[in-house]
Amino acid sequence: MKFFDEAKIEVIAGDGGDGAVAFRREKYVPRGGPSGGDGGHGGSIYALADHNLNTLIEYRYQRIFRAERGENGRGKDCYGKGGEDLELRVPVGTVIRDLASGETLADLDHDGARAMIAEGGRGGLGNLHFKSSVNRAPRQSTPGTPGVRRELHLELKVLADVGLLGMPNAGKSTFIRAVSAARPKVADYPFTTLQPNLGVVRVDTNRSFVLADIPGLIEGAAEGAGLGHQFLRHLGRTRLLLHLVDIAPLAADADPVRDAHAIIDELRKYDEDLYRKPRWLVLNKIDLLAEEDRQARIEQFLAAYGPVDQVFAVAAINGTGCPPLCYRIMDFLDQHMRQPAIQPEQDDESTD
């Protein structure tokens, strides 16, 4: 199945039914009075996050969704039936925005999350609501209100703890295969990965994290080069980025330092918040370097690259250096989860 992580749809909630004007007319019941019932409420439209879905392909072809209209009121104090609500199932991690205003209507970040995205119209009032001591035969009623109509943009952001960054053929897919049970395609040509891949990295029995691999970036991705940078949206929910760099490129004119800085520049062009996320440098393919030259090549790269918080050297093809890296990632995530997102403010004066 082809991966779709964006869709544009139109939702139309049901209109409310009209109120009725009617009078009770029965034998032996003189002056029966008004008996027009209210109209039913229109159906609303909800979005529900479902962990059984992983793509927005269902919204690729069907673009318009309508909820049921409420029935009109009837005589004999009969109220109209309310319209059935409509529920749209979407993958976990879907963000729903109003196309006209850009407002975020819902961020469904866990299974079972539910949000109203279009409210149904209210039913009109029948004439039985307008009776009074001075108006015993009212002939007025109110119409139902229209349901909300919106054009929406659905955007899927996969849920992962750690994201992989790097040029094509940096070894991202090989790395995720080495540390998890995920089996993305691996080949000796660029842009092998065409859609995000997720893998669960199990460090021990009760500790694990989710790793996301996205298609490779190249210089000029912000201007549409390669596959562009739209897949970077899937790193928006991560807490840590791993920047994989091919330390031993086969091409004679390749410059790992220049390529690494190009990735960082593309990240900053896309989103400043994503650029500021914690980012660790992972130097891959050290197995292609002679053992006696590895440390010198790594030091040479770091001297040209500049300061970096954390750096690791691995060979994803045979797993060298991967287990220690995974344990460090798990420790970082555990520590990050224990820290409060917002520090409580301290009062200037203590109170008893």
At 164-182, the pLDDT tens digits run 888 887 888 888 888 887 6
Looking at the 3D structure of the chain, how many domains does it have? Answer: 2
Rounded-to-integer distance, Cα 95 and Cα 294, Å = 45
Rounded-to-integer distance, Cα 51 and Cα 109, Å = 10
Q: Give the helix/strand (H/E) hosting 253.
A: none
Q: Is the pLDDT of residue 149 over 90?
A: yes
Tell me how far apart the 2 most distant CA atoms of the chain are, in Å. 110
Q: Is the pLDDT of residue 220 over 70?
A: no
User: Are the CB atoms for 147 and 67 separated by under 8 Å?
Assistant: yes
| Alpha-helical runs (H) found in 167-283 | 172-179, 256-270, 272-275
Spacing of C-alpha 41 from chain mean position: 31
Q: What is the mean pLDDT of residues 192-211?
A: 77
Q: End of a domain among 104, 136, 156?
A: 156
| Residue 344 is assigned to a structural domain of this protein | no
Q: What is the mean pLDDT of residues 134-154?
A: 92
**Is the domain of 12 the same as that of 85?**
yes
| Alpha-helical runs (H) found in 13-67 | 58-61
What per-residue confidence (pLDDT) applies to 346? 44
Q: Is the pLDDT of residue 155 over 80?
A: yes
| Residue 351 is assigned to a structural domain of this protein | no
| Residue 352 is assigned to a structural domain of this protein | no
| Residue 346 is assigned to a structural domain of this protein | no
Which of 228, 177, 170 has the alpha carbon at shortest distance from 198?
Answer: 177
Rounded-to-integer distance, Cα 320 and Cα 323, Å = 8
**pLDDT tens digit sequence for 36-69:** 999 999 999 999 999 888 788 888 888 999 999 9
**Is the domain of 86 the same as that of 210?**
no
Q: Which amino acid is at 280?
A: W
Rounded-to-integer distance, Cα 302 and Cα 44, Å = 57
Between 25 and 68, whose confidence is greater?
A: 68
Strand, coil or helix: 209 = strand
Q: Which domain holds residue 328?
A: 162-338
User: Are the CB atoms for 183 and 174 separated by under 8 Å?
Assistant: no
Return the number of other C-beta atoms located less than 10 Å from residue 77's C-beta: 16
| Confidence label for 137 from pLDDT (cuts 50, 70 and 90) | confident
Q: Is the pLDDT of residue 189 over 70?
A: no
Q: What is the pLDDT of the chain when averaged over all its residues?
A: 83
Percentage of the chain modeled with pLDDT above 90: 32
Per 3-state DSSP, the chain is made up of helix, strand and coil in percentages (nearest 5) of 20, 25, 55
Q: What are phi and psi of 97, to 5 degrees?
A: -125, 150
Of the listed ranges 18-22, 235-239, 342-346, the least confidently predicted one is: 342-346
Residues β-bridged to residue 29: 26
| Residue 298 is assigned to a structural domain of this protein | yes
Q: Is the pLDDT of residue 210 over 70?
A: yes
**Is the domain of 207 the same as that of 108?**
no
Q: What is the mean pLDDT of residues 118-133?
A: 92
What per-residue confidence (pLDDT) applies to 115? 95
Q: Is the pLDDT of residue 347 over 60?
A: no
Q: What are phi and psi of 139, to 5 degrees?
A: -120, 25
What per-residue confidence (pLDDT) applies to 3? 56
| Confidence label for 344 from pLDDT (cuts 50, 70 and 90) | very low
Q: What is the mean pLDDT of residues 193-213?
A: 79
| DSSP type of residue 220 | T
Q: End of a domain among 131, 156, 181?
A: 156
| Residue 21 is assigned to a structural domain of this protein | yes
The CATH number assigned to the domain holding 185 equals 3.40.50.300
What per-residue confidence (pLDDT) applies to 342? 38
**Is the domain of 112 the same as that of 186?**
no
**Is the domain of 175 the same as that of 302?**
yes
Q: What is the mean pLDDT of residues 247-269?
A: 83
Residues β-bridged to residue 311: 281
**Is the domain of 181 the same as that of 133?**
no
The CATH number assigned to the domain holding 121 equals 2.70.210.12
User: Are the CB atoms for 103 and 110 separated by under 8 Å?
Assistant: no
**Contacts for 111 with CB less than 8 Å, ≥ 6 apart:** 49, 50, 51, 92
**Is the domain of 136 the same as that of 211?**
no
Of the listed ranges 76-80, 189-193, 263-267, the least confidently predicted one is: 189-193
First to last CA, the chain: 63
DSSP string for 27-95: TTBTT--B-PPPPPPPPPEEEEEETT----THHHH--EEEPPPPPPPBTTTBPPPPPPPEEEEEETTEE
**Is the domain of 171 the same as that of 206?**
yes
| Residue 348 is assigned to a structural domain of this protein | no
**Is the domain of 177 the same as that of 130?**
no
**Is the domain of 183 the same as that of 269?**
yes
**Is the domain of 122 the same as that of 23?**
yes
**Is the domain of 173 the same as that of 311?**
yes
Q: Is the dihedral of CA 309, 314, 317, 323 positive or negative?
A: negative
**pLDDT tens digit sequence for 82-122:** 999 999 999 888 999 999 998 999 999 888 999 999 999 99
Q: End of a domain among 100, 122, 156?
A: 156
| Residue 76 is assigned to a structural domain of this protein | yes
